[in-house]
Amino acid sequence: MNGAQALIRTLVGAGVDVCFANPGTSEMQFVAALDTVPSMRAILALFEGVATGAADGYARVAGRPAATLLHLGPGLGNGLANLHNARRAHSPVVNLVGDHATYHKKYDAPLESDIEAVAASLGWVRRSDSPAEVGADAARTVAAAQEPPGGVATLILPADVAWGDGGRAASPVPARVPRQVPETAVKSVAAILRTGEPTALLIGGAACQERGLRAVNRIATATGLKPFMETFPARIQRGAGLPAVERLAYHAEHVAYQLEGTTHVIVAGTKPPVSFFAYPGRASDLVPAGAQVHILAELGGDVVAALESLADEVAPGTLPVLQQARRSPLPRGPLTPRNWVEVIGALLPDGAIVSDESVTSGLLLPAATAGAPRHDVLPLTGGAIGQGLPVAVGAAVAAPDRPVIALQADGSAIYTISALWTMARENLDVTTILLNNRSYAILRTELQRVGAGRSGPKADELLDLSRPDLDFTKIAEGMGVPATRARTAEELAGQFSRAVAEPGPHLIEVILE
Amino acid sequence: MNGAQALIRTLVGAGVDVCFANPGTSEMQFVAALDTVPSMRAILALFEGVATGAADGYARVAGRPAATLLHLGPGLGNGLANLHNARRAHSPVVNLVGDHATYHKKYDAPLESDIEAVAASLGWVRRSDSPAEVGADAARTVAAAQEPPGGVATLILPADVAWGDGGRAASPVPARVPRQVPETAVKSVAAILRTGEPTALLIGGAACQERGLRAVNRIATATGLKPFMETFPARIQRGAGLPAVERLAYHAEHVAYQLEGTTHVIVAGTKPPVSFFAYPGRASDLVPAGAQVHILAELGGDVVAALESLADEVAPGTLPVLQQARRSPLPRGPLTPRNWVEVIGALLPDGAIVSDESVTSGLLLPAATAGAPRHDVLPLTGGAIGQGLPVAVGAAVAAPDRPVIALQADGSAIYTISALWTMARENLDVTTILLNNRSYAILRTELQRVGAGRSGPKADELLDLSRPDLDFTKIAEGMGVPATRARTAEELAGQFSRAVAEPGPHLIEVILE
């Protein structure tokens, strides 16, 4: 058995049986070894950012890591933005980066670069030194990725470690479970709630799924506490039959409004609220002045169990209030940022997974889909745009029986547009709603917010995506995905219904007025 | 004057008046300041790899740096692969990376990451701390980028340094010139040549342009020395009226053939030859066994002056032998990897700049274009694919009066495909020949070369770009570039002639049999 075979067998043994790959020469032995381990599925991406974003999306839905396969330092570079998002999502990702043979590195061949330095910016890194060790290294990498709350763990695989003989598959290293939250922390928060003082609860991570939401809603119902989700959780469960919890807003002034009058901020499974960006004259720390912060559960702690304990403590007999089923009525006429979301709200299929990178076009989405059938939302976590389509790929691989809906802004779509090709190759059931407003709309707002005043023609040019207009139907068809264009709500409704009903990928370009 | 204005004025004062930008919120003040400095030209890229590759192409043609503008760590990540290529090309690049405000970093907001660590993998890095210093920091960055032999210099620009008052533009820091090569090195190499022993000369960097080539050819003509260019120089001048110098091959066994029987290898402006990748049982060091290596000029040394001194020493009365004008005859019939290059050879316009990422499809290109009118070739330098189209963008901006021809393989085109949009927006005179063989053809060869044996169906799937076929005419049209498809040599000849005759960008998808 060579090193590559030992590596792949170890991964499969540890439950990692999907690999999103964009290989090169130094990874050819890994590629060849795939045919010797039938249960490893390899999926080709045409750009590394698609592979890394797909691994993130897969982890968010499957709850366990996929592997990537990247080609040396430049491949890692191309994958870095979506690995950053995965890091912020606390998604477990086994990030495999091929490298030159061990003895070749000293020659500083053209593709040589400092892979460790770049990978270390993401978290845990190991370089495998020999075929005999690569199995054990892989088992440690899988465990590192799953170390609560989850993260990116990189294994650097030199070519000769892959092709050398003497490989040994290793048994899985048991992954640690989330740390139990001490009963004292629960009691202490319960005492605060019993004072009746105005209190907000900010939840994140696993708390944004059903069990956590039910506990939070019981607590809020019984005590009057105001619950919020962190602005960008990795995965939100919502819709009819689940308790609805508002997300903290993106802009600092809206957060100030949400938290106004609060004297206690309880934080569970996330960090205290901070502004996404700094703006002149505005605070970065969004905890209201004078309010006290209390940590119920740190990142990596068992936030769901802590919330359930708290609910049993302060709301023993209380049942959660569940969102009623309620569909938006279908709107009519030309599509705008206000009405396209209502089409989605009216027609979202049951059990959908929504990869949401709709950015400014999606501001009204949460309201429009609140009463839709139960669904999962996978938001942009780290602010590195170009996440939406790759995450949709990974989600569809993880949940082949569920419809995946990618809500995708135009500007950010381009970074990883070849995700469409992978959707076509794998016949993934992804419906992409491409929101074309022909601009970096968010930056028009941000230009004002940083105090830059009125923009001149050169600044305007850098925020404008027309001249020429991007034609996403042609781009999608060029990548093998059937595409249509909608300019009215009626057109979008018809096209969306058909796309969802038909297996395989579709793209609908929504031209926003 | 705020920091952003001071920065831009300093750049313009130091001769950096083009900025390839993909900005975000933290760069908005820089964007706003562009309208206050009329002579700075800003060009929007829809992906950072386009911006960084364009800065590389610009530097190779203009001989001076352009600036980039990237959005925090993830933007740097997306730009990293083509910055790696620029580093290997020794292209001067002023790499501007926006960051959070200085006081905001401690909050670990979602886009926070270790920018320094990633940028340091490329070379020189500075973080500007105040509006008062950013001008001086920028002047030092420009000088660092131009430090011989040239490289990537990164300036990290916190948002509050950009928006803060008290900015002062700084005078340029004089850039150092290449180090003079000591006369003793020249004499010592001359003495070796006079022994008459079999000697090879390997040149790189500036030596691959006219003055260097003329000196090299005189030396070879007078002494019988075998001259070679490094495999991937940043810029080659060639064609009718210039001396032709063979490039060292990509594969080790071909290099062994080229250098066979050599007892001395003289190296000038590059490094001794090494294999691009390691292969089982093959040497990494490509200097023939028993041959001695002599360094005439180190990287960063004045290699052209050294070669001219050497020519005056060993070939005082010798004139260079120049390539005769000779056009390939136009081939006929279906297009193959053998005949498409002849169409280019037959029709390459005078003074063309060729951005060459044709990879396996272009193996016969050098022979087919050897006697074409004088032209420049910009090869892939660092092995990070996705360079060709962005480099063509930068070349066309640097030389608006010259026709730019991008010879682009299909697999590598996808990484930075939105370069086409920037070509359309800026109406750049770039003709892209997109060579579609529906596979990562180079990896089919490499799979065998690493000793992986016969590939199985899963391995084959990872090297195959069909299922679905990429339709590059649709993708190009979707990005605003007129596109046609050629299946025969006659079609390619007609479409290429028309594309070159007409201003603005065109793409011709060549379907290779």
Cα–Cα separations (whole angstroms), residue A193 to A261, A317, B98, B320, B332: 15, 16, 42, 90, 84
High-pLDDT (> 90) share of chain A, %: 94
Q: Which residue has the tokens 């599925």?
A: A41
For the segment B112-149, what is each residue's pLDDT rounded down to a tens digit?
Answer: 999 999 999 999 999 999 999 999 999 999 999 999 99
Q: Above 90 in pLDDT, residue A328?
A: no
Distance in angstroms (rounded) separating the CA atoms of residues B84 and B68: 14
Stretch A426-440: mean pLDDT: 95
The average confidence (pLDDT) of chain B is 96
Stretch A264-282: mean pLDDT: 96
3 state SS of B37: coil
Q: Output b/e per residue, B40-57; b: 16+ Cβ within 10 A.
A: bebbbbbbbbbbbbbbbb
For the record, the structure tokens of A417 come out as 């547009």
Residues near A505 by beta carbon (within 8 Å), at least 6 away in sequence: A420, A423, A424, A427, A428, A429, A430, A431, A432, A481, A482
Distance in angstroms (rounded) separating the CA atoms of residues B32 and B21: 13
ipTM of the prediction: 0.97
Stretch B234-251: mean pLDDT: 97
Distance in angstroms (rounded) separating the CA atoms of residues A360 and B285: 54
The band of B442, judged by pLDDT with boundaries at 50, 70 and 90, is confident
For the record, the structure tokens of A376 come out as 């999962």
Residues near B346 by beta carbon (within 8 Å), at least 6 away in sequence: B327, B328, B329, B330, B493
Provide the phi-psi class of A457: left if phi over 0, else alpha when psi is between -120 and 50, else beta: alpha
Using CB atoms, pick whichever of A114, A278, A468 lies closest to residue B480.
A468
Q: Above 80 in pLDDT, residue A451?
A: no
Do residues A278 and B104 touch, judged by C-beta distance below 8 A? yes
- Cβ neighbours of A84 in B, within 8 Å: 73-74, 77, 113
Asked if A32 lies within 8 A of B455 by C-beta distance, the reply is yes
The four Cα atoms A215, A221, A224, A226 give a dihedral, to 10 degrees, of 50
For the record, the structure tokens of A384 come out as 């590195």
Run of H or E residues at B430: strand B430-436
Using CB atoms, pick whichever of A34, A77, A382 lies closest to residue B84.
A77
Distance, in angstroms, between B317 CA and closest chain A CA? 38
Which site among A450, A461, A481 would you substitute to test the B interface, given the most B Cβ atoms closer than 10 Å to its Cβ? Answer: A450
CB atoms under 10 Å from CB of B257, counted, come to: 10
Nearest to A424 by CA among B468, B411, B29: B468
Using CB atoms, pick whichever of B23, B276, B472 lies closest to residue A478.
B472
Stretch B287-306: mean pLDDT: 97
Strand partners, B203: B229, B268
- Cβ neighbours of A478 in B, within 8 Å: 470-476, 478
Nearest to A58 by CA among A11, A92, A35, A21: A92
Nearest to B406 by CA among B53, B48, B40, B77: B53
Distance in angstroms (rounded) separating the CA atoms of residues B193 and B221: 12
CA-nearest residue to B231 within chain A is A110
Distance in angstroms (rounded) separating the CA atoms of residues A433 and A185: 44
Asked if B475 lies within 8 A of A478 by C-beta distance, the reply is yes
3 state SS of A18: strand
Nearest to B384 by CA among B346, B354, B412, B420: B412
Run of H or E residues at A256: helix A252-259
Distance, in angstroms, between A466 CA and closest chain B CA? 9
Lowest mean pLDDT among B7-16, B340-349, B460-469: B460-469
- Cβ neighbours of B387 in A, within 8 Å: none
Q: Above 80 in pLDDT, residue B452?
A: no
3 state SS of B86: helix
Run of H or E residues at A356: strand A353-357
How much is the pLDDT for A443? 87
Do residues B231 and B213 touch, judged by C-beta distance below 8 A? no
Q: Are strands A236-238 and A375-379 parallel, antiparallel or unpaired?
A: antiparallel
Asked if A34 lies within 8 A of B465 by C-beta distance, the reply is no
Provide the phi-psi class of B329: left if phi over 0, else alpha when psi is between -120 and 50, else beta: beta
Stretch A407-414: mean pLDDT: 97
Q: Output b/e per residue, A393-430; b: 16+ Cβ within 10 A.
A: bbbbbbbeebbbbbbbbbbbbbbbbbbbbbbbbbebbb
Strand partners, A460: none
How much is the pLDDT for B175? 83
The band of B360, judged by pLDDT with boundaries at 50, 70 and 90, is confident
Distance in angstroms (rounded) separating the CA atoms of residues A246 and A149: 23
Asked if A468 lies within 8 A of B425 by C-beta distance, the reply is yes
Distance in angstroms (rounded) separating the CA atoms of residues A487 and A489: 7
Taken in order A428, A431, A435, A436, is the CA torsion positive or negative?
A: positive
Distance in angstroms (rounded) separating the CA atoms of residues A344 and A321: 24
Q: Which residue has the tokens 């939840």?
A: A203
Q: Are strands B375-379 and B236-238 parallel, antiparallel or unpaired?
A: antiparallel
Distance, in angstroms, between A114 CA and closest chain B CA? 6
Half-sphere exposure of residue A387: CA atoms within 13 angstroms, side-chain side: 33
Distance in angstroms (rounded) separating the CA atoms of residues A262 and A255: 12
Asked if B77 lies within 8 A of A77 by C-beta distance, the reply is yes
Asked if A163 lies within 8 A of B452 by C-beta distance, the reply is yes
For the record, the structure tokens of B220 come out as 């070879």
Taken in order A305, A306, A307, A310, is the CA torsion positive or negative?
A: positive
Asked if B415 lies within 8 A of A232 by C-beta distance, the reply is no
Distance in angstroms (rounded) separating the CA atoms of residues A91 and A383: 15
- Cβ neighbours of B113 in A, within 8 Å: 84, 121
Which one is predicted more confidently, B71 or A175? B71
Which backbone phi and psi does A2 adopt, to 5 degrees?
A: -90, 175
Distance, in angstroms, between A281 CA and closest chain B CA? 10
Do residues B378 and B63 touch, judged by C-beta distance below 8 A? no
For the segment A221-267, what is each residue's pLDDT rounded down to a tens digit?
Answer: 999 999 999 999 999 999 999 999 999 999 999 999 999 999 999 99
* A183 CB burial (10 A radius; 0-12, 13-18, 19+): exposed
Which backbone phi and psi does A353 adopt, to 5 degrees?
A: -110, 120
Q: Which residue has the tokens 């169409």?
A: B343
How much is the pLDDT for B440? 84
Distance, in angstroms, between B481 CA and closest chain A CA? 9
Run of H or E residues at A267: strand A264-268
How much is the pLDDT for B513? 81
CA B238 centroid distance within chain: 16
- Cβ neighbours of A75 in B, within 8 Å: 81
Residues near B190 by beta carbon (within 8 Å), at least 6 away in sequence: B310, B313, B314
The band of A445, judged by pLDDT with boundaries at 50, 70 and 90, is confident
Distance, in angstroms, between B318 CA and closest chain A CA? 35
For the record, the structure tokens of B414 come out as 């996808």
For the segment A143-156, what is each residue's pLDDT rounded down to a tens digit?
Answer: 999 999 999 999 99
- Cβ neighbours of A157 in B, within 8 Å: none
Which site among A72, A107, A465 would you substitute to test the B interface, given the most B Cβ atoms closer than 10 Å to its Cβ? Answer: A107
For the segment B392-427, what is each residue's pLDDT rounded down to a tens digit?
Answer: 999 999 999 999 999 999 999 999 999 999 999 999
For the segment B74-110, what is each residue's pLDDT rounded down to a tens digit?
Answer: 999 999 999 999 999 999 999 999 999 999 999 999 9
The secondary structure of A92-149, three-state, reads CEEEEEEECCHHHHHHCCCCCCCHHHHHHCCCEEEECCCHHHHHHHHHHHHHHHHCCC
Q: At CA B125, angle to CA B120 and CA B126, rounded to 5?
A: 145
Using CB atoms, pick whichever of B36, B110, B473 lies closest to residue A383.
B110
Distance, in angstroms, between A241 CA and closest chain B CA? 31
How much is the pLDDT for A333? 97
Helix, strand, coil % in chain A, rounded to nearest 5: 40, 20, 40
Asked if A75 lies within 8 A of B81 by C-beta distance, the reply is yes
Asked if A81 lies within 8 A of B81 by C-beta distance, the reply is no
Q: Above 90 in pLDDT, residue B443?
A: no
Distance in angstroms (rounded) separating the CA atoms of residues A430 and B387: 30
Q: Above 90 in pLDDT, residue B19?
A: yes
Distance, in angstroms, between A273 CA and closest chain B CA? 9
For the segment B481-494, what is each residue's pLDDT rounded down to a tens digit?
Answer: 999 999 999 999 99
Using CB atoms, pick whichever of B35, B85, B468 lies closest to residue A424.
B468
Distance in angstroms (rounded) separating the CA atoms of residues B405 and A81: 31
Size of chain B in residues: 513
How much is the pLDDT for A455? 79
Asked if B450 lies within 8 A of A28 by C-beta distance, the reply is yes
How many A/B residue pairs have CB atoms within 8 Å? 328
Distance in angstroms (rounded) separating the CA atoms of residues B45 and B224: 48
How much is the pLDDT for A63? 97
**Residue A402 identity (one-letter amino acid):** R
Q: Above 80 in pLDDT, residue B451?
A: no
